[in-house]
Amino acid sequence: MRTREQSGHAVLRHRLQAEQVQDWVRARVTSMHLLSLLVLVAALGVAGFAKLLDPQGSRTAAKAFGVPERLTGVVAVGLPIVELAVAVLLLPAATRWYAAIAALVLLLAFCAAIARVMARGETPDCHCFGALHSAPTSWRTLARTGLLTALAGLLVVAGRDDPGPSVVSWTSDLDATGWLVLALAIALFAVVAVGGYAVLHVVRSYGKVLVRLDAVENRMRAAGLDLDEPDEIPELGLEPGTPAPSFDLESVDGKRVSLAELLEPRRPVLLLFTSPTCGPCSHLMPRVTEWQREHADELTIALLSAGEAEAVQADAAEHGLANVLLDTDLATYEAYQASGTPSAVLVGDDGAIATWLAAGSDWIESVVQQALVGVGRTPGLPVGTELPELRVSRLDESAVELREVIERDSLLLFWNPGCGFCRSLHEDILAWEASPPADAPALVVVSAGEAFSVKAESFASTVLLDPEWTVSGALGADGTPMAVLVTGDGRIASGVVGGGPAVLELLGAGELSAA
């Protein structure tokens, strides 16, 4: 039989075991509580600080999420201040419960705003972490915000009477090892934050440098300084004639697409390497949309895009692009030896590389022209068609009807001062103007680009400004240099031709004969 003393020992042992379990559970709950607190403080603190570094981005994001424009400035400043204040007030135990309620309300508002734009099919940049990170709104954005909302809810549920441990008292209990770990964690966070901001600053500065460099080059041309530019596509990527590397990628609509399938219609395929975060790519996308729509019967254009699938899908939807494939691991990009975005390569209908890699918008447009010439296409309006009614601007920016400029048989030369092929043709055009053949047509230059850079070309002929490619687009010219002959009574007299030799041939033509 168990003695009373043995029974007492057993009860005491069970009680001690229960207390140990309770202490273990309490410690785990305290750890979870503290972890939730630190995650929430870090997220709100970083988000608030980063938004303050990019007020313009904050205003843009606020407007995209439906904030009236007159209030976007207030939100751009007020929201990050609120986030920082809530993060600070979460640290002391005395103010934590109130701050947790404020964080919960704030995060619920974020969730509602995100769900609202997603329900409308919109994907604005969330600007969640301001200058450090911004990406198109997606289910991932909603899930992340929902997790933070749950953590705020946990702190609220903990109750006013049990707000959890004070961060100050918790740090006072740390031993030397704990302090070392905490210091290393803070240092790592600081390095990541400062490094991320530094990278962002460098990228932005690089973009400004490119813009300024472009302006400097234009002003150098305006001063009469000739900048050497290659007359032909630089020899980049795979050598023409090399069998094109095969691939099998997922498209933005969930289908698998291979190079063999793209080549099935027996027409050339232009592979365009791009990215939703690439500024020059965004500038080129409207042109790509036009090419896909207007040249679908002669040329297949496929975009191989890096970046997150959601961002690529949003980019494709925004511009109405077709044949957009996900090259998320850049395997195809590397197989074709691409060296930047945007860049493109033409694959012939025989499955072989047809051109060197074209890097940049101008060279890509040239490759498109080459592809269309290669398939025997004569672009432009049918011969004999009357010129459409088009308003254009002279160099002094006075408006005029295009037909009023055509006083006799003329060649419309579509030009761009920043085009490498135009640069190589420039001296030939000036020489022709100095001594044109007796029976040659008049020359009318229709130029894209800034007015001051067009003036710097010093053409003696009539020059019209076409910065939005309105005239060239209406007459079927997809790039520069291209040209078309028109009669004195305003009718199309030839197909549109591209490239220096073809332009010069038309300039030396005899009397025009309209159909």
The pLDDT assigned to 501 comes to 81
The pLDDT assigned to 414 comes to 92
Q: What percent of the chain has pLDDT over 70?
A: 73
The pLDDT assigned to 452 comes to 85
Residue 9 has pLDDT above 60, yes or no: no
Of 205 and 124, the one with more pLDDT: 124
Mean pLDDT is lowest, of 33-42, 318-327, 389-398, 428-437, for 33-42
Residue 424 has pLDDT above 90, yes or no: no
Residue pair 136/312 in contact (Cβ under 8 Å)? The answer is: no
Residue 355 has pLDDT above 50, yes or no: yes
Mean pLDDT of 492-512: 75
The pLDDT assigned to 514 comes to 39
Residue 232 has pLDDT above 80, yes or no: no
The pLDDT assigned to 72 comes to 80
Residue 245 structure tokens: 């590397």
The pLDDT assigned to 515 comes to 38
The pLDDT assigned to 76 comes to 83
List the domain boundaries for the chain: 4-173, 181-227, 248-374, 391-507
Mean pLDDT of 140-151: 85
Most confidently predicted of 192-201, 266-275, 367-376: 266-275
Residue pair 318/252 in contact (Cβ under 8 Å)? The answer is: no
The pLDDT assigned to 20 comes to 56
The pLDDT assigned to 474 comes to 84
Q: What is the pLDDT of residues 13-33, one digit of tens each?
A: 656 555 555 554 454 545 566
Residue pair 368/296 in contact (Cβ under 8 Å)? The answer is: no
Tell me the one-letter amino acid at 76.
Answer: A
Mean pLDDT of 172-198: 59
The pLDDT assigned to 245 comes to 93
The pLDDT assigned to 64 comes to 74
The pLDDT assigned to 140 comes to 80
Q: What is the pLDDT of residues 111-140, one digit of tens each?
A: 888 888 777 766 676 777 765 665 667 778
The pLDDT assigned to 137 comes to 72
Whole-model pTM over 0.75:
no
Neighbour-count burial of 437, counting CB atoms closer than 10 A to its CB (0-12 exposed, 13-18 middle, 19+ buried): exposed
8-state DSSP, 296: T
Tell me the C-alpha distance between 187 and 250, whole Å.
41
Mean pLDDT is lowest, of 3-17, 156-170, 392-406, for 3-17
Of 223 and 80, the one with more pLDDT: 80
Q: What is the pLDDT of residues 286-314, one digit of tens each?
A: 889 989 988 888 899 999 998 888 889 98
Residue 510 has pLDDT above 50, yes or no: no
Confidence of residue 430 (pLDDT cuts 50, 70, 90): very high
Mean pLDDT of the chain: 78
Query: Strands 324-326 and 300-305: what pairing?
Result: parallel
Mean pLDDT of 358-366: 84
Residue pair 301/272 in contact (Cβ under 8 Å)? The answer is: yes
The pLDDT assigned to 302 comes to 94
CA atoms within 13 A on the CB side of 20: 6
Of 123 and 80, the one with more pLDDT: 80
Cα Rg of the chain, angstroms: 33
Residue pair 100/156 in contact (Cβ under 8 Å)? The answer is: yes
Mean pLDDT of 56-79: 80
Which residues on adjacent β-strands are paired with residue 133?
129
Of 10 and 103, the one with more pLDDT: 103
Order of strands across the sheet that contains 410-415: 399-401, 391-394, 462-465, 442-447, 410-415, 482-486, 497-498
The pLDDT assigned to 186 comes to 61
The pLDDT assigned to 509 comes to 45
The pLDDT assigned to 344 comes to 93
Domain 248-374, CATH class in plain words: alpha beta
Superfamily of domain 391-507: Glutaredoxin (3.40.30.10)
CA atoms within 13 A on the CB side of 396: 3
Q: Any idea of the CA torsion for 390, 394, 397, 398, to the nearest 10 degrees?
A: -70
Say whether 336 sits in a helix, a strand or coil.
coil
Say whether 469 sits in a helix, a strand or coil.
coil
Helix (H) / strand (E) containing 182: helix 176-222
Mean pLDDT of 459-465: 91
Confidence of residue 203 (pLDDT cuts 50, 70, 90): very low
Residue 357 has pLDDT above 70, yes or no: yes
Tell me the C-alpha distance between 273 and 49, whole Å.
35
The pLDDT assigned to 384 comes to 85
Mean pLDDT is lowest, of 144-158, 180-194, 310-324, 458-472, for 180-194
The pLDDT assigned to 161 comes to 61
Confidence of residue 512 (pLDDT cuts 50, 70, 90): very low
Tracing tokens 């603190």 back to the chain, one arrives at 45
The pLDDT assigned to 486 comes to 92
